[in-house]
Structure 1
Amino acid sequence: MDFDLSEEQSILKDAVERLLADRYGFEERKRHMASPEGWSADMWDRYAEMGLMALPFAEDDGGIGGGPVETMIVMEALGKALALEPYFATVVLGGGFLRLGGSAEQKAELIPQVADGSLKLAFAQVERNSRFDLHHVETAARKDGGDYLITGAKSVVLHGDSAGKIFVTARTAGDMRDKTGIGVFLVDVNAPGVSRRGYVMQDGQRAAEISFDNVRVPASAAFGDPANSLPLVRRVVDQAIAALSAEAVGVMSAMHGLTLDYLKVRKQFGVPIGAFQVLQHKAVDMYVALEQARSITLYATMMADSDEDTERARAVHAAKTEIGRGGRLVGENAIQLHGGVGMTMEYAVGHYFKRMTMIDLTFGDHDFHLRALADAGGLMAV
């Protein structure tokens, strides 16, 4: 199997990495994080100019026609730069619902707005008691004539404070843990009854607590079958986890690179500390974990578009499991090998480890996916 990038993919990789290297240094990132939005509007416009917002959408829908590999390339570059912009929330999560669940009319209306950067999206799924279970939905969508009335609360909505529209999981029938009776609705944040409270997470990314009080949406706001949209949610989240894994590879790569540089310049007893064999072994352990994470991420990326739900889920569970394990190993070693400076807010490596920790917790941590993989019979079921 050929894992080499095509010429077009190589050009995309070089262009994105060059943009971020030129304009997204660590000091610039701190300034972006301190801004009212918590990210750079200028960089967002540049992403749109490069076509990154239109990347995963079909050409017939106004996109560029890229696939999971192109998304992987962009997400890995964003991970290396610790980028703060809501690309994952808007293009990967929101865009996933548009691509996989949108009608022709919904795509025609919304995809051009996403592609030019004017519309930002978010996905409101987590609830206070849901843990990592996508089917635990207490938010209700009650039919009222030709409309739905949505009532409930969602937590940790990634970039929910800057989104113009939010995809919301809400229950149209059944009990709170039933796997049927779940719908997905696109809600305008300015609709009566919507309230938001934004905040900064530990990794510098933004999130929001959002409540819905009898928010009226038309039936046309539903994506997929309002009575059975859990398969759509699972497919979008599977693709999102593959993209998150690619971002994690970028984060791990940056931590490994920073650590190697530090081992070469930090001296003890008159020699660089990288000359000590025990520290070389630590660096090798980091490299092995990085390459294992990269390999399983490639596999998950290749499976992301698969119509075989079981096989796709196995690949995603395996990727998230390895990312969680390897990311922690790389992060802990990076902090330890840097010594005291690795713990400071003024040095980048600690911020990378914070981002790595939040990636592990998004859509299920290492333990959650390891159990799910075991229940599925392993990566290659026999």
Structure 2
Amino acid sequence: MDFSYSDEQRMLAETLERLVADQPAVERSASQLPPATREPSPLWQTFAELGLLHMPFAESVGGLGGDGTDLMIIMQALGHGLVPEPYLAGLLLPGDLLARLATPEQRDRWLTPLLEGEHQLALAWQERDARYDIHAVTTSAHRQGAGWRLEGAKQLVMGADLAAAVLVTARIADEGRDVERLGVFLLPSSTPGLTRHNYPTIDGQPASDLVLDGVMLDEHACLSENAAAALDATFAVGIAALCAQAVGAMQASCEQTLAFLKERRQFGTPLSTFQALQHRMVDMHLHLEQARSMAILAATSLDLPAPERDYRIAAAKAYCGESARFVAEQAIQLHGAMGMTEECLVSHYAKHLVMFDHYLGDSDYHLEYVSERLSAA
């Protein structure tokens, strides 16, 4: 198959490469940045001006109609530059779900400003005992009068403290019937009864645990009372984007490690001339290229029927997760003790790659899904 980029895609990749290269190295690590505010950063505003925020969304909702390959190009560049802006958590995941579920009025209120870079959103889906299953939801939503009452808690909500609103998944029980559905509700950040416990992840990204204590919402806050299929599709897009981002970070880690081995000398000889270390670099590049192939598979599978799409996405995430850990560990090992320091940029890439393996399902979780599908076949 021909995986070469079109002229437009090459221009997109070159533009992103120049844009990321212009950012100071220290600003490519979220853990080294001052606390963010809800005001869009200059880089985020640049993303909006270049159309990068519109790119992955359909023209029918105000986007540019980009496909999985366009998204892959963007995420690889952001991963390669370790760009801290929350393109995935603050734009792609909540925006994609909004585009699938929201009414035209809801899109005008929340999605259009999101694509214009005026605010960011967050998606709250993960719970304490659910592992990574997006359907294992205990947060409940009950009808109360003409509105809704939400009770429950969410964990590891990326960027919730910076978001203008949070999309929350909740289990809806039909009155008088033993039927439950998975709904999605939109909560402005100032909603009474919504509290946040904020903390940084291991790679410095802002995250929050949410508690919903008697949160009262009007009837328009419910985006959908049957959102399971839309959630599956949104998470497929998110995982494909994550795989591409990890490939970019792995490539940067390999480049930095090779440059270090060429520069560092031992016994008067560059470390890059030692055969044992050459073998390690070859192993790193093998994992990188195989992960790149799986990321391409994920990006080109988003329009397939759901069963085939989910199988390919799970396989890609499982392999990219294992490769990310391998590349991170080898990069640290080959840098020696200095690879663990804050001053060494490769340490921040390593933390980012370890976090990647756990976000939206780790390797074991997705391998289990692939195994179950193969057994069923």
Distance 1:200 1:97 in 2: 25
Match of 2:312 in 1: 315
Native 8 Å contact 2:30 2:203 kept in 1: no
- 1:59-90 Cα shifts (integer Å, max 9, x gaps): 23222121221111111111111111121112
Distance 2:251 2:183 in 1: 38
Normalised by the size of structure 2, how large is the TM-score?
Answer: 0.94
Larger CA deviation: 209-218 vs 256-265 = 209-218
What secondary structure does 2:14 align onto? helix
The residue type equivalent to 2:80 in the other structure is K
Match of 1:185 in 2: 185
**Superposed displacement of residue 31, structure 1:** 8.3
Larger CA deviation: 244-253 vs 99-108 = 99-108
- 1:6-27 Cα shifts (integer Å, max 9, x gaps): 111111111112111112x322
Alignment of 1:342-361 (within 5 A): 342-361=339-358
**Superposed displacement of residue 309, structure 1:** 1.0
Change (3 A) 1:38 1:28: farther
The residue type equivalent to 2:311 in the other structure is R
- 1:298-345 Cα shifts (integer Å, max 9, x gaps): 011111232x11101111111111111111111111111111111111
**Superposed displacement of residue 92, structure 1:** 1.3
Distance 2:161 2:30 in 1: 19
Native 8 Å contact 1:53 1:91 kept in 2: yes
Native 8 Å contact 1:180 1:230 kept in 2: no
- Is 2:366 the counterpart of 1:363? no
Change (3 A) 1:238 1:179: farther
Match of 2:207 in 1: 207
Distance 1:292 1:106 in 2: 41
What secondary structure does 1:143 align onto? strand
Match of 1:286 in 2: 284
Distance 2:162 2:210 in 1: 12
Change (3 A) 1:369 1:30: closer
The residue type equivalent to 2:330 in the other structure is N
Larger CA deviation: 100-109 vs 358-367 = 100-109
Native 8 Å contact 1:72 1:301 kept in 2: yes
Match of 1:172 in 2: 172
Distance 1:7 1:217 in 2: 48
Residue segments in structure 2 that go unaligned for 5+ positions in a row: none
Native 8 Å contact 2:168 2:187 kept in 1: yes
What secondary structure does 1:129 align onto? coil
**Superposed displacement of residue 180, structure 1:** 4.6
Distance 2:48 2:5 in 1: 23
The residue type equivalent to 2:27 in the other structure is E
What secondary structure does 2:22 align onto? helix
Match of 1:44 in 2: 44
Native 8 Å contact 1:54 1:114 kept in 2: no
Match of 1:56 in 2: 56
Match of 2:28 in 1: 29
Match of 1:66 in 2: 66
Normalised by the size of structure 1, how large is the TM-score?
Answer: 0.93
Match of 2:108 in 1: 108
Match of 1:295 in 2: 293
Match of 2:6 in 1: 6
Distance 2:68 2:103 in 1: 21
The residue type equivalent to 1:256 in the other structure is C
What secondary structure does 1:168 align onto? strand
Distance 2:292 2:55 in 1: 22
* Percent identity (aligned): 40
Distance 1:63 1:30 in 2: 29
Match of 2:129 in 1: 129
The residue type equivalent to 2:47 in the other structure is Y
Native 8 Å contact 1:239 1:305 kept in 2: no
Distance 1:232 1:27 in 2: 38
The residue type equivalent to 1:262 in the other structure is F
Distance 2:212 2:294 in 1: 39
**Superposed displacement of residue 32, structure 1:** 8.0
The residue type equivalent to 1:46 in the other structure is T
Distance 2:59 2:95 in 1: 14
